[in-house]
Amino acid sequence: SKMTSQPTTHHYTTLTSSSDPRTVISQLMQLYYTTGWVSGTGGGISIRDNNTVYIAPSGVHKERVRESDIFEISLDEDCVLKKPEGDNLKISACKPLFFHAFRERNAGAVIHSHALSTLLATMTCIEKNEQNQCHEFHISQVEMIKGIKGHGFYDTLVVPVIENTAHEHELADEMLRVMRLYPKSYAILVKRHGVYIWGDSWEQCKTHAECYHYLFEAAVEMRKLGVPLVVEGQD
């Protein structure tokens, strides 16, 4: 679906009403570069249109990714349908993790962020769930929780946390395991690394990403102030 509002200028970025996945990826990369989510060539965005997955290249400065740099990949066949025009471009190392969200959760888009708030949240705002052999991030009674599909103000938002690995693709198996353990979650934090966030469409993914980032940032500040992240007497 198309954005109907007028273009929104944000620092260096203008979001237009294009619904072309390549254009959306390029514009969101520019937007989220200004927020510190995708810097130093880290982080990324992928969009699925039915069986075609659009994914940015690896090792490219995210604010400079152009429509012509985007790979097109078949989700079913896992083969490249269209290579970018640029020489020697490689597919993002995040591809196996993006594909888990597309296949397991039928996501329409996935964002991988290296935002400072996601990093700090995994260091200061998590606790171990022995049953699932997994750490979790919990927060409740913060208005922006309502921006996550299936959640209300009085719900405790739970985000699973997985351990980091030396290489991005090595996260894939643990991400899939945890994705199946937490079917209500639209995000997985990676300890001392960042977060993967998805949604049914790129618009919902964008909403989820902005709400989750707000909540991670709020949690880090709440922890500094000694404010509990989960309101007492709540399930």
Residue 141 contacts residue 154 (beta carbons within 8 Å): yes
Mean pLDDT over all residues of the chain? Answer: 92
54 bridge partner residues? 47, 72
| pLDDT tens-digit readout, 147-158 | 999 999 999 999
For residue 1, is it within any domain? Answer: no
Residue 154 contacts residue 133 (beta carbons within 8 Å): no
Number of structural domains (the chain) is: 1
For residue 217, is it within any domain? Answer: yes
- pLDDT(130) > 80: yes
pLDDT at 171: 96
For residue 230, is it within any domain? Answer: no
pLDDT at 156: 97
Catalytic residue check, 127: no
> Long-range contacts: 74-81, Cβ < 8 Å, 24+?
75/48, 75/51, 75/99, 75/102, 75/103, 76/51, 81/52
pLDDT at 118: 98
Phi-psi label, residue 106: left if phi above 0, alpha if psi -120 to 50, beta otherwise: left
- pLDDT(8) > 50: no
Compute CA 172 distance to the chain's CA centroid, rounded to the nearest angstrom: 14
pLDDT at 11: 46
Mean pLDDT of 215-220: 98
Compute CA 103 distance to the chain's CA centroid, rounded to the nearest angstrom: 16
- Of the chain, the percentage scoring pLDDT greater than 70 comes to 91
Q: 103 falls in which pLDDT band (50, 70, 90)? A: very high
> What tokens does 4 get?
């109907």
- pLDDT(16) > 70: no
pTM of the model: 0.91
pLDDT at 232: 83
Q: Nearest 10 degrees: CA dihedral of 136, 142, 143, 148?
A: 0
For residue 164, is it within any domain? Answer: yes
Residue 78 is given by DSSP the state -
For residue 234, is it within any domain? Answer: no
Question: How far is 21 from 31, CA to CA, in rounded Å?
Answer: 15
Which residues, other chains included, contact 140 with Cβ-Cβ below 8 Å and sequence gap of 6+? 154, 155, 156, 157, 229, 230, 231, 234
Mean pLDDT of 69-84: 94
The CATH number covering residue 51 comes to: 3.40.225.10
Q: Which domain holds residue 126?
A: 8-225
For residue 125, is it within any domain? Answer: yes
For residue 168, is it within any domain? Answer: yes
**Candidates 143, 163, 170, 221; catalytic one:** 143
> What tokens does 234 get?
């709540």
| pLDDT tens-digit readout, 134-191 | 999 999 999 999 999 999 999 999 999 999 999 999 999 999 999 999 999 999 999 9
For residue 47, is it within any domain? Answer: yes
